[in-house]
Chain A
Amino acid sequence: MRNSRTLRLIAGVMCAGTALAACGTSSTSSSSAGGGGFTPPKLEALSQLGQPEGALNILAWPGYAENGSNDPNVDWVTPFEQATGCKVNVKTFGTSDEAVSLMKTGQYDVISASGDASLRLIAGGDVEPVNTSLVPNYADIYDFLKSKPWNSVNNVSYGVPHGWGANVLTYRTDKVSPAPNSWSTMFDPNSPYKGKVIAYDSPIYIADAALYLMKTKPELGIKNPYALDDKQFQASVDLLKQQRPLVSEYWSDYLKESQALKNGDAVIGTAWQVTVNLTQSEGAPVQSTLPTEGATGWSDTWMVSAKSPHKTCAYKWLDHIVSPQANAKVAEYFGEAPANPKACSMTADAKHCEVYHAGDAAYASRIWYWTTPITQCIDGRTDVKCKDYGEWTRAWTEIKG
């Protein structure tokens, strides 16, 4: 162990000499590292609203908090500022993982978190429970979106559902025939579309493989694609490694994917509805479908930072963003199903809710919403340990090779 001691010594000296700030970070490291269960830090929800504090810092997906600076006609932040006197600052993020990192700075009051970020934020003590009785519009929201594993813990709500959508199977109608209705066209090693498949670039994509195995290999006993034990996880990883030669690209930027589909560099893949709409609008023959196996998807939640000094403004925002008017505007601008049914009558395109299957609980039930995988199996099993997101991330590097 001599080497390790020397290294410690070197590291220690450098630490003392140069990087006091870096060494001092996060002395409050979680004591439950590697522990099995998931008990969120004890935090109380706000009991009553006060006077608006005059400022609000929002951390949001692009397109979720528009103030007219991108397009003068797209603006639901200014009316909010005028009504409440809360001056809004918006910071956007590109991936859930970036959002989690940014939220740790404690500089933001509210965040639009997808299910693969929300549990991490709750566990890290970055967000606190939300008193939904202080959010009048909460009552209108579809019941099938409330108190779900990604926005509540032990029936305590941690936020307000905002909108949802599926990761749909997307294909070029002129290059892919017959029209696919199963993910097997993306996983079968003998797929005729070898080298033309485009897949999502995130560890959470492992769930897509698990979902497929859930239907095609019932002997694995997968009940929830986000709760995988060793054997199930290995099978999913192996399936993705087998898919790797079929894949032309992994996408994380939906514009890049749209371009690949438009140019025919990829002919089949997993995409968001907004990508399909965009590609169609540019004249490419692209269609999407929800395959027989179902699909993964996202359900986003507005959450309140535990460190927020602007809690009243935060609650005002939560209520504003799921109000029928604002919810309709966001859903249409971003391309997703709104959480508030009353929004459906206010969209510019009367068929918006129909296209995105808003309120279609049967359609929604076939979607497995992104949820952070944790050691404790979220499908209810207690006899095994599940793989956590850290291991998913590691496996993802290995899959891409």
Chain B
Amino acid sequence: MSIAASVSGFLYRKPRLRLGMLLSAPLLWLGLAYLGALAALFVTAFWHTDTFTGQVVTEWSLDNFATLFRDEVYRTITVRTLGIAVAVTVIDAVIAFPMAFYMAKFASPRAQRVLVIAVMTPLWASYLVKAYSWRIMLSGNGLIGWLFGATPGYGLAATVITLSYLWLPYMILPIYAGLDRLPNSLVEASGDLGGRPWGTFRSVVLPLTFPAIVAGSIFTFSLTLGDYITVKIVGGANQMLGNVVYDNIGAANNLPFAATVATVPVVIMLVYLAAVRRTGALDNL
């Protein structure tokens, strides 16, 4: 009997060992590389650096968190980042829903496939190319100014536009999946029972696809919270939470404070996820 056969025979008789071996790699990854890194990040947040030599001093203190809460500028930046994230999410939801509705309910199966590919195509292009394209389009003598006679210029509006463009596929695809799962018979039943189109939409389609919209919003919301490149390219003189993290690592070499700031989006996302868990949206992910 070959070795492979004897090993497989041994594993066949020990289902628990089999399961353990199968799960050990992902568990190791999740436990050490993923959660471990997050924990290390959180620990670093309680240290500080020698501001001159840049070396990390491993003394415990809450100074970083005190700075974060005391200095008004970090509150302003947090509120601005949240505002951008909410705006991007709402804009994407409004644009994505009709698009996904058409794809799931009206398009032929062939057109559906084409549309899904069309929605995904931008994801194959580099993030930077897309952001810089927007920089050129929003420029004083760019495409937008030429088409509409005016351009919002570089600033918060440009940031919201660019991020909405970048994350749109992440909103369309979950909503499409949600609508696709919604049986047509339910809509027809509503019509048979005298429901008008708007009433059917409001009391049948929307409640059943709301979890899908929330699922999409988790993507757009969290991706926006963590972004720092787009605002650097089209945001003019504005900065978001990601920029503060980046500047503290890159410019100030202050890893502990960067870690402190990085806990802000983590906390926001935890609160958000706790809220959306009630809608059942997480089952859709």
Question: Which residues on A are within 8 Å of B, measured CB to CB?
Answer: 4, 7-8, 11, 14-15, 17-19, 21-23, 25-30, 32-33, 38, 95, 97-98, 100-101, 104, 120, 123-125, 195, 202-203, 244, 247-250, 256, 259, 263-265, 372, 374-375, 388-391, 393-394, 396-398, 400-401
Are A14 and B43 in touch, CB under 8 angstroms? yes
Given contacts A29-B57, A203-B252, A249-B154, 7 further A-B contacts (CB under 8 A): A14-B43, A28-B55, A100-B54, A100-B253, A247-B236, A389-B252, A393-B247
Q: Flag whether B265 is at the interface (Cβ < 8 A).
A: no
A124's partner among B36, B54, B60, B252 (CB-CB below 8 A) is B54
Q: Flag whether B58 is at the interface (Cβ < 8 A).
A: yes
Residues of A within 8 A of B32 (CB): 18
Residues of B within 8 A of A123 (CB): 52-53
Are B39 and A19 in touch, CB under 8 angstroms? yes
Residues 31-77 of B contacting A (Cβ, < 8 Å)? 32, 35-36, 39-40, 42-44, 46, 49-58, 60, 62, 71, 73, 76-77
Residues of A within 8 A of B42 (CB): 11, 14
Are A389 and B58 in touch, CB under 8 angstroms? no
Q: A18-B39, A22-B40 are in contact. Are A11 and B50 (CB under 8 A)?
A: no
Q: Give the distance in Å from the alpha carbon of A124 to the alpha carbon of B56 in the complex.
A: 11
B56's partner among A7, A26, A97, A125 (CB-CB below 8 A) is A26
Q: Give the distance in Å from the alpha carbon of A248 to the alpha carbon of B238 in the complex.
A: 9
Rounded to whole Å, the gap between the CB of A374 and the closest CB of chain B is 6
Rounded to whole Å, the gap between the CB of A38 and the closest CB of chain B is 8
Q: Flag whether B140 is at the interface (Cβ < 8 A).
A: yes
Are B52 and A374 in touch, CB under 8 angstroms? yes
- Between A and B, 17 residue pairs with Cβ closer than 8 Å are A4-B62, A14-B39, A19-B40, A26-B55, A29-B56, A38-B52, A95-B250, A97-B250, A101-B253, A249-B154, A256-B233, A263-B140, A263-B142, A374-B52, A391-B51, A400-B237, A400-B239
Are A23 and B52 in touch, CB under 8 angstroms? no
Are B54 and A104 in touch, CB under 8 angstroms? yes
Chain B interface, number of residues (Cβ within 8 angstroms):
47
Q: Give the distance in Å from the alpha carbon of A28 to the alpha carbon of B42 in the complex.
A: 21
Rounded to whole Å, the gap between the CB of A233 and the closest CB of chain B is 14
Are B73 and A11 in touch, CB under 8 angstroms? no
Residues of B within 8 A of A23 (CB): 43, 58
Residues of A within 8 A of B154 (CB): 248-249, 265
Are A124 and B39 in touch, CB under 8 angstroms? no
Are A22 and B140 in touch, CB under 8 angstroms? no
Q: Give the distance in Å from the alpha carbon of A30 to the alpha carbon of B51 in the complex.
A: 10
Rounded to whole Å, the gap between the CB of B98 and the closest CB of chain A is 34
Q: Give the distance in Å from the alpha carbon of A202 to the alpha carbon of B71 in the complex.
A: 20
Residues of A within 8 A of B223 (CB): none
Residues of A within 8 A of B36 (CB): 18-19
B251's partner among A95, A125, A195 (CB-CB below 8 A) is A95
Q: Give the distance in Å from the alpha carbon of A253 to the alpha carbon of B233 in the complex.
A: 10
Q: Flag whether B263 is at the interface (Cβ < 8 A).
A: no
Rounded to whole Å, the gap between the CB of A267 and the closest CB of chain B is 10
Q: Flag whether B8 is at the interface (Cβ < 8 A).
A: no
Q: Flag whether B159 is at the interface (Cβ < 8 A).
A: no
Q: Give the distance in Å from the alpha carbon of A333 to the alpha carbon of B135 in the complex.
A: 28
Q: Give the distance in Å from the alpha carbon of A32 to the alpha carbon of B244 in the complex.
A: 27
Q: Give the distance in Å from the alpha carbon of A23 to the alpha carbon of B40 in the complex.
A: 8
Q: Give the distance in Å from the alpha carbon of A398 to the alpha carbon of B253 in the complex.
A: 17
Rounded to whole Å, the gap between the CB of A155 and the closest CB of chain B is 21
Q: Flag whether B279 is at the interface (Cβ < 8 A).
A: no
Residues of A within 8 A of B140 (CB): 263-265
Q: Flag whether B178 is at the interface (Cβ < 8 A).
A: no
Q: Give the distance in Å from the alpha carbon of A394 to the alpha carbon of B258 in the complex.
A: 12
